[in-house]
């Protein structure tokens, strides 16, 4: 249980860091190779773009987790606690509906890419679906984060604690 809590608290930041380091590393090495050796590998301009998908969609789930997404907190902060809770629940419903739509359509894209053996440009064996799979996975994680926030909001509401309607980009 302790391990699951540790993973739950850090999984998005870990994935973002790893993807970003690989992306930046590939770009850095290949720019040096291009200017000093006048050569570069063919996939050096495509793999970083695919890694960027991992950074963006996992960061989306992370920002929902820490509530750093776009919202109208200035207005909400003036509502009663019940009004704030209703707005947070509306957010949750909208996030879940949107995520289900994204998962449905991007899963189709992943399967199509997999079934057609689509490879990343400039490679011989790196499959595109390995990168595309992040979109439905990240939105599934986003749903988990939304449900965790809802559970916390309901608990806070029932216990008379202030609801968390505003946060900074730096986390908890």
Q: Residue 166 has what pLDDT?
A: 66
Q: Residue 162 has what pLDDT?
A: 84
In this prediction, the residues of the chain whose per-residue pLDDT falls under 50 are: 167-172
- Please count the CA atoms within 13 angstroms of the CA of 58 that sit on its side-chain side: 21
Q: Residue 68 has what pLDDT?
A: 83
Are 118 and 128 spatial neighbours (Cβ–Cβ below 8 Å)?
Answer: yes
Residues in Cβ contact with 149 at an 8 Å cutoff, skipping those fewer than 6 apart: 64, 65, 67, 88, 92
CA 37 to chain centre: 37
The string of pLDDT tens digits covering residues 132-163 is: 999 999 999 999 999 999 999 999 999 988 88
Cα–Cα distance between 54 and 1 in angstroms, integer? Answer: 27
Q: Residue 137 has what pLDDT?
A: 97
Tokens of 2: 């302790």
Burial class (CB in 10 A: 0-12, 13-18, 19+), 76: middle
Q: Where are the domains of the chain?
A: 2-158
């Amino acid at each position: 249980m302790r391990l699951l809590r540790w993973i739950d608290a850090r999984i998005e930041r870990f994935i973002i860091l790893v993807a970003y380091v690989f992306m930046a590393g590939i770009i850095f090495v290949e720019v040096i190779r291009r200017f000093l050796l006048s050569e570069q590998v063919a996939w050096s301009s495509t793999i970083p773009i695919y890694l960027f998908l991992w950074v963006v969609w996992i960061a989306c789930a992370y920002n929902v987790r820490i509530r750093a997404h776009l919202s109208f907190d200035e207005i909400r902060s003036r509502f009663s606690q019940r009004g704030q809770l209703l707005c947070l629940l509306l957010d949750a419903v909208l996030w879940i509906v949107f995520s289900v739509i994204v998962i449905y359509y991007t899963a189709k894209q992943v399967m199509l890419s997999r079934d057609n053996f689509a490879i990343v440009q400039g490679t011989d064996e790196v499959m595109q679906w390995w990168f595309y799979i992040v979109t439905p996975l990240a939105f599934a994680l986003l749903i988990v984060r939304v449900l965790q926030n809802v559970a916390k909001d309901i608990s806070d509401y029932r216990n008379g604690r202030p609801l968390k309607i505003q946060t900074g980009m730096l986390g908890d």
